[in-house]
Structure 1
């Protein structure tokens, strides 16, 4: 299955079809949110008054889990020799779940109050001296999520390489989240790495419980691998543990693809022209709409051919009269109309159409200028 943009993000907050259960729970959810808001105030006061010690931080972490209704299950154990852990990214509270069971800190560019950041196990990336930390404090591991932003957990985005320059031994972590009624993360075109998703956090207060499963995998050695090869090995290990696929998309491309639904860019128009070369009767708006979701020429062509994406075919242009009754010497046989399903065969079909168009253009040029070309 090709991991397109629409398969990796959630546009809607609500999931499931049992509306009656949701309506019955709604009053209780509002009361629970009010109670947890009071807990949040207590958490805020406690974080200001209590000293910054490990035992106190563990208490605050537990109180934060109660506040947000987070229940964490951990599988496996952390390698004490690893100061870097790498995980997939599925929610804004991944750092809280990991900090609670693994004692990690997470690097973020979020602009949030200091007490809130420390309680959730977040440290500002701009204030973090990475090399000094790993040299002086290996007992406090850092959790890195190199996808750059959250997905719905159905696939892994392309990793950035910078986290893997920090050490030769890294431990992968696979995180999954389960919740009733609502999706954990909802994507908007305005999402950025510097703004904390407060709307997602508020739904944690309303939901009865959000269950995190943190699976700690065996540590991996870099050996002689480059940064890219090492990151791909770690990503594949996490994907295998989650039983999901990997994508070559980056997190920035998810929002770019969604924004393209309103205003197509140059890249989208270039891809649309390639689709039109193969399927000339498919309307351009329909092609752009499907490409904004798939971001793949091959997948879009397959969607139209297999009827996944419906469209109204444009009328064929009036055929021009033949300038000569004799058969052109340089025209290749016309396509059969059966379009293959594999990407390799589709590319071959595209090359055949291109060769046919070149041959037809050459024949018209010969006939227009009355040239005599020997048939070799």
Structure 2
């Protein structure tokens, strides 16, 4: 059996080593710059639409179409395996936009565990926990009370607590997210990066009852 090191789980350089591909990338760069400016313009409109429309299947459909123009084409595999009664989604962590991508498919909240609060927290699509949550035990209890509310949206947590390339393995999961809810929906994210677009495949596994 081939042994995989932890260094294979991370990409330490963005550009390929192949000189021919680098030449093609250089020739493509003028088109890429124009496309980048266009996508920045469209991205601002995606943000405005997300803020203006209430959370619904209509908003998710519109934003999903607009994100496809941005190169974020989202596909969902095995939708029948998703349990709509699940209160907690557990997912691997590939990019810093994983929670935004999953929100295009289903309504859920991702708590902000670290980083700036206030407007930046809201603009990035995170749920602010407020002041007073200092220890991991308090965090677990706060999120458990949140999940116990019938009107609350499901939670989305990333037990890896850091991003990897998602191709060669997973970081060791933290155990505390599994104490938040008795019903857990495992989710797997697979990111493919062709020459231009980024394709993210959303997979669900059977629900786990603890």
Return the TM-score normalized by structure 2: 0.78
From 92, 96, 105, the equivalent of 2:96 is: 92
Question: Over residues 2-55 of structure 1, what are the superposed CA-to-partner deviations in whole Å (9 max), with x where a residue is unaligned?
Answer: 34231111110123622233223222211111011112332344455x254435
Q: Unpaired segments of 5 or more residues in structure 2?
A: 132-138
| Residue 166 (structure 2) pairs with residue 175 (structure 1) | no
**Conservation of the 8 A alpha-carbon contact between 1:146 and 1:160:** yes
| 2:14 aligned partner | 13
Question: Over residues 62-100 of structure 1, what are the superposed CA-to-partner deviations in whole Å (9 max), with x where a residue is unaligned?
Answer: 366246421111112220121111111111121122111
Structure 1 distance, partners of 2:10, 2:32, is 25
Number of aligned positions between the proteins: 192
From 25, 45, 67, the equivalent of 2:28 is: 25
Q: Secondary structure at the match of 1:85?
A: strand
Q: Unpaired segments of 5 or more residues in structure 1?
A: 182-207, 223-376
CA RMSD of aligned residues (A): 2.7
Q: Which has the larger radius of gyration?
A: 1
Kindly tell me: are residues 34 and 141 of structure 1, through their superposed partners in 2, closer, same or farther at Cα, counting changes over 3 Å? same
Structure 1 distance, partners of 2:144, 2:98, is 24
| Residue 179 (structure 2) pairs with residue 165 (structure 1) | yes
Higher relative contact order (CA 8 A, sep 6+): 2
Kindly tell me: are residues 45 and 96 of structure 1, through their superposed partners in 2, closer, same or farther at Cα, counting changes over 3 Å? closer
Displacement of 1:138 in angstroms is 6.0
Structure 2 distance, partners of 1:107, 1:176, is 22
| 1:102 aligned partner | 106
| 1:306 aligned partner | none
Displacement of 1:126 in angstroms is 4.8
| 1:142 aligned partner | 155
Question: Over residues 173-207 of structure 1, what are the superposed CA-to-partner deviations in whole Å (9 max), with x where a residue is unaligned?
Answer: 111101135xxxxxxxxxxxxxxxxxxxxxxxxxx
Q: Secondary structure at the match of 2:199?
A: strand
